[in-house]
Amino acid sequence: MYAARLATALRQRTGATIFGMGGSRMREAGVELIIDAKEIAVLGITEVIHKVPTVLKILRRLRNEAARRKPALSILVDSPGTNLPLGKKLHRLDLPVVYFITPQIWAWRPWRIRAMKRILTRVLVIFPFEEAIYKDAGIPVNFVGHPLVDVVRPSKSRDEFLAEHGLDASRPIVALLPGSRPSEVGLNLPDMLDACEGLARDLNPQFVMAAAPGIPEQFFQRYMRPGLAITRIAGEPYDVLASADCGIVSSGTATVEAALLGTPMVVVYRVSAPSAFILRRMIRAPHLAMVNLIAGRKIVPELIQDDFKGPRVEAEVRRLLSLAEDREEMKRDLADMAARLGAGGAIDRAAEILAAMLSP
C-alpha cells in the first residue's frame, strides 16, 4: 500500500519508469512487477526457513534485472528480511539505495544498522523516535511522518455504519481485529472468542470483526462458537474501529490505525512456540505494542504470547466498557500519541526527497 502510493507520487513528479517487487496495488500504480510479493509472504521466524530457496532465487532475479537496467535509484520498502540482502547486492552495483519504512532495529536485531550504514544512501523514517537513531549512526535521514495519517478515517458516520449492518447503537460494540494473514488469525482468534464469550454473559455487547480481504468466510467458520454472534465485515476496517467502544486488536499496524481513530483497545498477539522461543532472546524494546512504543510509555494493555489468555482479555475489555473515565483517559493518550506521527503528507514529503535525488 505504501509503496504503491509512493510510486504514484514519484511518477507524477518525475515521469519515472519504476520496476521491482510488489503486489496488486503497485501494479495498479504503474509499477512493472518483476516479482509478485506473494511469493515470499510468510509470518514468523521458524516459518520462513522453507522460503529461503525462493527468496534467494528472487534476490538473484532482482539483482540481475537491476544490473541490466541500471536504474537511477533503488528504493527499499519495509520487508527487511528480503530488502537488506537485496540492498547489499544493489550497493555492489554502485546504485543509490534509499530505505523507506526502515527495519525495527530499535526493537530487535540492532546490529543491522552497521550493514545499513555501509549500503544505504538515505533513510526515510515514519516514526519520530527513529530519526535520532539513524542520525547518531551517521546515516542521512529524514522523518517524513506516518503515511496512515492521511488515509485512516471512516467512510461514513457511526449511525450510518450501524444502520447498514443492523447494529444497535444502545449496546456496546467491541471490534475484533485478529490479523491479516490466516496464520495470524488461527493463533489469535480462539482466545479473542474466549474473551467474547465471557463478555457476552452479562454486558450484552455486539462483536464486529474486521476481516482481512482475501481470507474466505469458511476459514473463519471453523473458529466460530455456537451461540456467539459475530458480525464479520470485510473491507471496512476503519468504519469498524471508528464505531467501536473498544477494540481487541492484533499487534501491528492495526494498533496505529485504531489510535488515529481514537478507539480504546487491548492489544494482543501470539506467534508459534518455536518463534516465541527465539524472539524472547532477540527483542530489546520496552514495549511490543506500536502505540506504546511511539508514546514512550504504556498507554494500552498489551497481552502477548503467554499473557494472551481469554480471561485476561475479557478483564481488560470489561474495564474499558464499564469505566467511562478509563476510556476517556485512553482516548486522550491515543490522541497525544497520534499527534507525534505528523500532520500528514508523508508520502508527498518522501516523493519530494526522492525526486530531488533524481534531478540532474
Paired with 206 in beta bridges are 173
Residue 121 maps to which CATH number? 3.40.50.2000
Residue 57 counted as domain residue: yes
Residue 241 counted as domain residue: yes
Residues 105 and 167 in one domain: no
Paired with 173 in beta bridges are 206
Backbone conformation region of residue 179, classed left if phi is above 0, alpha if psi is from -120 to 50, else beta: left
Residue 150 counted as domain residue: no
Concatenated DSSP letters for 167-222? Answer: --TTS-EEEEE--SSHHHHHHHHHHHHHHHHHHHTTS--EEEEEEPTTS-HHHHHT
Q: According to the model, what pLDDT value does residue 359 have? A: 79
Chain-centroid distance of CA 205 in Å reads 27
Nearest to 189 by CA among 310, 319, 318: 310
Residues 273 and 326 in one domain: yes
pTM value is: 0.84
Residues 266 and 211 in one domain: yes
Please give the helix or strand (H or E) that residue 141 lies within, else none.
strand 141-143
Cell of 197: 464469550
Residue 44 per-residue DSSP state: S
Higher pLDDT, 39 or 322: 322
Q: According to the model, what pLDDT value does residue 43 have? A: 54
Residues 207 and 313 in one domain: yes
The percentage of the chain sitting over the pLDDT mark of 90, rounded to a whole number, equals 77
Query: 271 pLDDT exceeds 90?
Result: no
Q: How far apart are CA 181 and CA 186, in angstroms?
A: 9
Residue 48 counted as domain residue: yes
For 69, counting Cβ atoms within 10 Å of its Cβ (0-12 exposed, 13-18 middle, 19+ buried), the class is: exposed
pLDDT band at 286 (very low <50, low <70, confident <90, very high): low
Integer Rg of the chain from CA: 21
Q: According to the model, what pLDDT value does residue 278 have? A: 60
Residue 151 counted as domain residue: no
pLDDT band at 154 (very low <50, low <70, confident <90, very high): very high
Q: How far apart are CA 283 and CA 280, in angstroms?
A: 6
Cell of 339: 499527534
Least confident of 27-31, 51-55, 351-355: 51-55
Angle at 49 between CA 43 and CA 53, to 5 degrees: 115
Q: How far apart are CA 217 and CA 84, in angstroms?
A: 36
Cell of 326: 478509563
Q: How far apart are CA 326 and CA 340, in angstroms?
A: 22
Instruction: Encode pLDDT of 144-153 as tens digits.
Output: 999 999 999 9
Please give the helix or strand (H or E) that residue 247 lies within, else none.
strand 246-250
pLDDT band at 37 (very low <50, low <70, confident <90, very high): confident
Residues 258 and 129 in one domain: no
Instruction: Encode pLDDT of 174-226 as tens digits.
Output: 999 999 888 889 999 999 999 999 999 999 999 999 998 878 888 999 999 99
Q: According to the model, what pLDDT value does residue 187 have? A: 93
Q: What amino acid occupies position 140?
A: P
Residue 153 counted as domain residue: no
Residues 45 and 62 in one domain: yes
Q: According to the model, what pLDDT value does residue 289 have? A: 84
Q: Determine the structural domain holding residue 140 and report its residue range.
A: 2-145+345-358
Residues 20 and 141 in one domain: yes
**Domain total of the chain:** 2
Asked if 331 and 264 count as a contact pair (C-beta separation under 8 A), the reply is yes
Instruction: Encode pLDDT of 60-114 as tens digits.
Output: 999 999 999 999 999 999 989 899 999 999 999 999 999 999 998 876 678 899 9
Residue 113 per-residue DSSP state: H
